[in-house]
Amino acid sequence: MMAPTHAIFSINVVALTLCTYDIRMLLICAIASQLPDVDTPNSHIGRILFPISAIVSRLGHRQITHSILGTAIAWVCFLPLLWVGSMWYWSAAIGYFSGWLLDAASKTGVPIFYPSLKRAVFPLDPTFRLKTGSITERLFQLLLALMLALTLVMNVGGGALVGFSNWLGSSAGAIDTYHRYANDREVYAIITGFHRATQQPVNQERMQIIGSASESDLIVQDNQRHRYRAGTAMQANIRTTRVQVELGRLIKVSNQTIQVPEIVPLSSLIEAIGKNSYVTGELHTDEGTLLSSQSDPRYDTAIKVEHINDKEARLTLESATVPDLQSLPDIWIQGSVVIRRIS
């Protein structure tokens, strides 16, 4: 088959399986889809990688490079891409595999289990197999282009996962989607339900998801930075009847663990956190008398205070922000936290 056919087919597969529309991932996939044809010096990739092609072509066209053995070798060669990111690696890996797999629909098929010479072909009827450069292959390219356009439109909105989650409208589905995209995109929930404390309705309000409190409850905040636990559990501030998900801007996330083995003032920890950060972990203090465990039932509390005895208290932080910590007295603390920084 022609190089464009391999490229657009592999791009479709990567766009669907990795749920991406990142041009870098699609480009590396398209390049990887051409590599199996390095076994012929007449191909585009064969001319570019002529020294390699001259060696591999001695085994014949559509031989080892069009097999599981060749794929395993290629995947090992792609391992350095993991230093850039797992998406880069899998884009190349899937691109290579799907690139040669499509040749099973050609007249001669491919030796999937090379060095066995038995060749896999589909369809079984040779009449329906694709001939290189034929009108049928051109029409197949057009069909793939239309499928790709539809897939990319879906992926911009979050792909099939978000579409299915929104169709279900469950908070559990929204949590799964959040965990899938939390390190790459801002994620918003479109919530329908009611406030438990006031019984006021919530009608398709858009709130940013900043975490999950359980398998059924989200942690969200509105435009006024009021924080809620939204879901179906008894502890939820907003009882949800329907939750849909919307993806926001691309972000970069870094995580840092900070151990505080020695007692230090809370202000020193705040200085290390920085802006656009969320803190999760547990702190201990001997100045529990300065802290209150009471909270406003209308909102979720980012810092939960548990008094152990007359002096000691345990502070459980769940996606707490700098303003949340600044609302406390400058007590002396120790413990361990994870800071999630967003840029």
How many whole angstroms separate alpha carbon 154 and alpha carbon 152?
5
303-307 vs 253-265, strand pairing mode: unpaired
Contacts of 166 by beta carbon, 8 Å cutoff, 6+ apart: 173, 244, 245
What confidence category does residue 107 fall into, taking pLDDT thresholds of 50, 70 and 90? confident
pLDDT tens digits, one per residue of 31-45: 999 998 888 888 888
pLDDT tens digits, one per residue of 43-66: 888 788 888 877 877 877 778 888
Cα-based distances in Å from 130 to 104, 137, 139, 223, 261: 9, 6, 11, 55, 67
Once rounded to an integer, what is the mean pLDDT over residues 120-143? Answer: 74
In the numeric block, which tokens belong to residue 266?
């809370």
Q: According to the model, what pLDDT value does residue 79 have? A: 94
For residue 109, pLDDT beyond 80:
no
- State the DSSP code for 131: P
For residue 266, pLDDT beyond 70:
yes
pLDDT tens digits, one per residue of 220-253: 999 998 999 999 999 999 999 999 988 888 888 9
pLDDT tens digits, one per residue of 269-304: 999 898 889 999 999 999 999 998 778 889 999 999
Q: Which sequence spans correspond to the domains of the chain?
A: 3-156, 160-250, 253-342
User: What is the CATH architecture assignment of 160-250?
Assistant: Roll (2.30)
Q: Are 265 and 331 in contact (CB under 8 A)?
A: yes
Once rounded to an integer, what is the mean pLDDT over residues 82-93? Answer: 89
Laid out side by side, the sheet with 253-265 consists of: 253-265, 332-342, 277-285, 313-320, 303-307
Backbone angles phi, psi at 339, to 5 degrees: -100, 125
For residue 119, pLDDT beyond 80:
no
Q: Are 264 and 332 in contact (CB under 8 A)?
A: yes
Rg of the Cα trace of the chain?
A: 27
Contacts of 257 by beta carbon, 8 Å cutoff, 6+ apart: 336, 337, 338, 339
What confidence category does residue 126 fall into, taking pLDDT thresholds of 50, 70 and 90? low
In the numeric block, which tokens belong to residue 107?
């007249």
pLDDT tens digits, one per residue of 134-166: 787 788 889 989 988 888 877 776 666 677 777
Q: According to the model, what pLDDT value does residue 161 have? A: 66
State the burial class of residue 235 (Cβ atoms within 10 Å of its Cβ: 0-12, 13-18, 19+): exposed
For residue 184, pLDDT beyond 80:
yes
What confidence category does residue 182 fall into, taking pLDDT thresholds of 50, 70 and 90? confident
DSSP three-state, residue 249: strand
Cα-based distances in Å from 111 to 39, 309, 342: 14, 72, 48
Q: According to the model, what pLDDT value does residue 281 have? A: 94
Q: Pick from 259, 177, 161, 244: which is nearest to 212 by CA?
A: 177
